């Protein structure tokens, strides 16, 4: 028998020896974990914890080098034995060691700190809550009181002299318009003060061992501060009519002619051009009745201030919002991209999208609209032609001329003639003028309206 060959008994003996070696290593790991647990309990400083952490990392690296062999395969005909194999027993022990090691690593992290960085992070979190929430006048007052109380605690713990700005006074939404932004913005001014507090904590150079009590006191003060902010009165805590009243929405009502009173107030605000109040009603009032009237008012007014809320609504396939964007007439990228998404949609959405793109003169939409000149639906072809006429791009003269000459539907041909008239160049007008004796009255009418005479 060659040196490389071995008998079955020798192979089994080698496998058994390998398993015994793994078993011995797991025994060693279990003993090491007991020692590490004792070391962790005895650790008093960050340096002590660093030593334990290094030992835990070394233990994990050694554990990852251990490979448990797979259990031997059994024939399908053999009856399964409920007793685990030696390999399965070792795998269970390995998993237990790994789990216990993970628990010690978690305990180590829990035992660290607290740190000054934790205090700064907590303060920043509360500051974000303050600036990203809309507060009532009462809420602003409660925030000022909460910050003052927090600063008192910080000053006691750090020996600092932090304070809120002098003359800090809450201002209602209606008063803000009269006094200006500088008089309001309580949250922003408090944020500046809280930035001073975080700088004071950072500048104190607090050591997690020597200043553990101070850091713990600061964290406790921050927790109390967060609770006070959570209890402050937010704008959403008010009923809808109370929100509107505080914003001055009802101030225009000397008497009420229509019911509900919000409808009458809306009419007055539209007449006076108070776009902000109409948008306030649109965003605040939950009834479909008032939303419809707010949208109708915005469509009549076409204010640029309505672009963002109408974009949000148009992205939800809302036809009224598309019409309003057309009436506003601003061809920014967001508006055009939103409307172009509906150019190749269903006819209910195509119609307002075509119209709006035409009204705003969206040259970037010319090609996708022109592609619809060959749509199966004659209504879609007609709307596309009219939209191109409103945009007035001379590149569309030839495709519109083809529609005028070849389309099967006279109403589509009439729309193409109308569009060429709108483009108004000599080339476009001469094309339309040739149809003065067309079979369709609407096309004739467009041709007869052409004026090729030069202006005097």
Rounded mean pLDDT of 141-170? 90
Q: How confident is the model at residue 2 (pLDDT cuts 50, 70, 90)?
A: very low
Q: State the pLDDT at residue 130.
A: 93
Instruction: Give, as one character, the DSSP assignment of residue 234.
Output: B
* Domain ranges, ordered by start, for the chain: 10-70+85-111, 116-237, 361-456
Residue 295: pLDDT above 60? yes
Q: State the pLDDT at residue 256.
A: 58
Q: How confident is the model at residue 44 (pLDDT cuts 50, 70, 90)?
A: confident
User: For the chain, what is the mean pLDDT?
Assistant: 87
For CA atoms 320, 322, 325, 327, the dihedral sign is negative
Q: State the pLDDT at residue 75.
A: 61
Q: State the pLDDT at residue 454.
A: 54
Q: What is the maximum alpha-carbon separation in the chain?
A: 120
Rounded mean pLDDT of 14-35? 86
- 316: its two tokens: 């939800």
Q: State the pLDDT at residue 431.
A: 95
CA 416 – CA 295 distance, rounded (Å):
31
H or E segment and range at residue 100: helix 86-111
pLDDT tens readout for residues 335-362? 999 999 999 999 999 999 999 999 999 9
Using CA atoms, how far residue 92 sits from 96, 98, 189, 339, in Å, is 6, 10, 59, 61
pLDDT tens readout for residues 241-285? 888 888 888 888 876 566 688 889 999 999 999 999 999 999 888
Q: State the pLDDT at residue 176.
A: 46
Q: State the pLDDT at residue 259.
A: 67
Residue 275 CB contacts under 8 Å (≥ 6 apart), including other chains: 298, 301, 303, 305, 306
CATH number at 361-456: 1.25.10.10
pLDDT tens readout for residues 385-431? 999 999 999 999 999 999 999 999 999 999 999 999 999 999 999 99
Instruction: Specify which residues 135 forms β-bridges with.
Output: 234
Which own/partner contact pairs does 58-67 have at CB distance under 8 Å and 24+ positions apart?
59/29, 59/32, 59/33, 59/101, 60/101, 60/105, 62/29, 63/29, 63/94, 63/97, 63/98, 63/101, 66/22, 66/25, 66/26, 66/94
| Phi, psi values for residue 202, rounded to 5° | -65, -40
CA 134 – CA 122 distance, rounded (Å):
20
Length of the chain: 456
């Amino acid at each position: 028998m060659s040196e490389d060959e071995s008998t079955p008994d020798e192979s089994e003996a080698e496998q058994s020896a390998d398993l015994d070696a793994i078993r011995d290593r797991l025994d060693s790991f279990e003993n090491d974990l007991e020692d590490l647990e004792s070391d962790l309990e005895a650790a008093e400083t960050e340096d002590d914890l660093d030593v334990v952490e290094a030992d835990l990392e070394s233990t994990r690296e050694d554990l990852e080098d251990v490979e448990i062999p797979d259990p031997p395969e059994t024939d399908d005909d053999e009856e399964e034995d409920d007793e685990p194999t030696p390999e399965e027993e070792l795998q269970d022990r390995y998993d237990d060691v790994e789990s216990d090691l993970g628990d010690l690593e978690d305990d180590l992290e829990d035992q660290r700190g607290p740190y000054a960085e934790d205090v700064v992070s907590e303060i920043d979190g509360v500051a974000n809550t303050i600036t990203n929430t809309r507060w009532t006048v009462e809420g602003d007052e409660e925030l000022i009181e909460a910050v003052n109380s927090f600063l008192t605690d910080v000053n006691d713990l750090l020996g600092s002299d932090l304070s809120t700005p002098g003359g800090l006074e809450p201002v209602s939404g209606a008063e803000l318009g009269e006094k200006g932004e500088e008089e309001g913005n309580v949250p922003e001014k408090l944020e500046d003060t809280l930035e001073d507090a975080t700088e004071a904590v950072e500048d104190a150079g607090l050591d997690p061992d020597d200043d553990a009590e101070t850091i713990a006191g600061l964290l406790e003060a921050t927790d109390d501060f967060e609770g006070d902010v959570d209890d402050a009165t937010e704008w959403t805590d008010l009923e809808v009519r109370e929100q509107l009243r505080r914003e001055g929405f009802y101030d225009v009502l000397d008497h009420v002619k229509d019911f509900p009173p919000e409808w009458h107030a809306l009419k007055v605000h539209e007449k006076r051009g108070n776009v902000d109040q109409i948008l306030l009603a649109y965003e605040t009032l939950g009834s479909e009745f008032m939303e419809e009237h707010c949208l109708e008012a915005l469509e009549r007014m076409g204010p640029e201030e309505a672009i963002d809320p109408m974009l949000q609504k148009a992205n939800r396939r809302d036809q009224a919002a598309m019409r309003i964007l057309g009436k506003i007439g601003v061809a920014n990228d967001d508006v055009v991209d939103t409307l172009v998404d509906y150019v190749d949609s269903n006819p209910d959405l195509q119609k307002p999208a075509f119209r709006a793109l035409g009204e705003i003169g969206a040259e970037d939409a010319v090609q996708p609209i022109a592609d619809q000149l060959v749509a199966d639906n004659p209504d879609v072809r007609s709307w596309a032609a009219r939209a191109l006429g409103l945009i007035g791009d001379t590149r569309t003269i030839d495709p519109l001329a083809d529609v005028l000459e070849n389309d099967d539907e006279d109403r589509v041909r009439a729309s193409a003639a109308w569009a060429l008239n709108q483009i108004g160049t000599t080339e476009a007008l001469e094309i339309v003028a040739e149809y003065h004796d067309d079979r369709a009255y609407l096309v004739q009418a467009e041709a007869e309206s052409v004026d090729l005479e030069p202006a005097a």
